[in-house]
Amino acid sequence: MTRSVFFASVLAVLFALPALADDPPAGVVMALSGSTTPPIATMAEIPAGTPVQLAPGTELTFLHYGKCKLVTVAGGSLTVTRTDFTTDGKIVGEKDGPCPRVHQLRGNTSGMVSGGLVMRGVTAAPRWPLNRELVFAGAGSDKLKGAAIYAEARLDAPLVRLDVTGHQARFPANAAALVANERYVLRLTMADRPDAVDISFIGAAPDGPSLLVILR
Per-domain residue ranges of the chain: 3-100, 104-215
Q: How confident is the model at residue 19 (pLDDT cuts 50, 70, 90)?
A: very low
Number of neighbours of residue 197 by Cβ within 10 angstroms: 20
pLDDT value at 128 more than 60:
yes
Query: Who's near 54: CB < 8 A, 6+ residues apart?
Result: 34, 36, 60, 73, 74, 75, 76, 77, 78, 89
Give 38 or 198, the one with higher predicted confidence. 38
In this predicted model, what pLDDT tens digit does every residue of 32-82 receive, in sequence order?
999 999 999 888 889 999 999 999 999 999 999 999 999 999 999 999 999
- Please determine, looking at this structure, whether the domain spanning 104-215 carries the CATH number 2.60.40: yes
Residue 87 is which amino acid? T
pLDDT at 192: 82
- Model pTM? 0.70
Task: Report residue 109: phi and psi, to 5°.
Answer: -60, -40
**DSSP-based three-state secondary structure for 164:** strand
Element (H, E) at 5: helix 3-6
Considering 98-107, 133-142, 169-178, the range whose residues carry the highest mean pLDDT is 169-178
Return the C-alpha torsion angle 151, 157, 158, 161, nearest 10: 180
Alpha helix segments (H runs only) across 87-210:
none
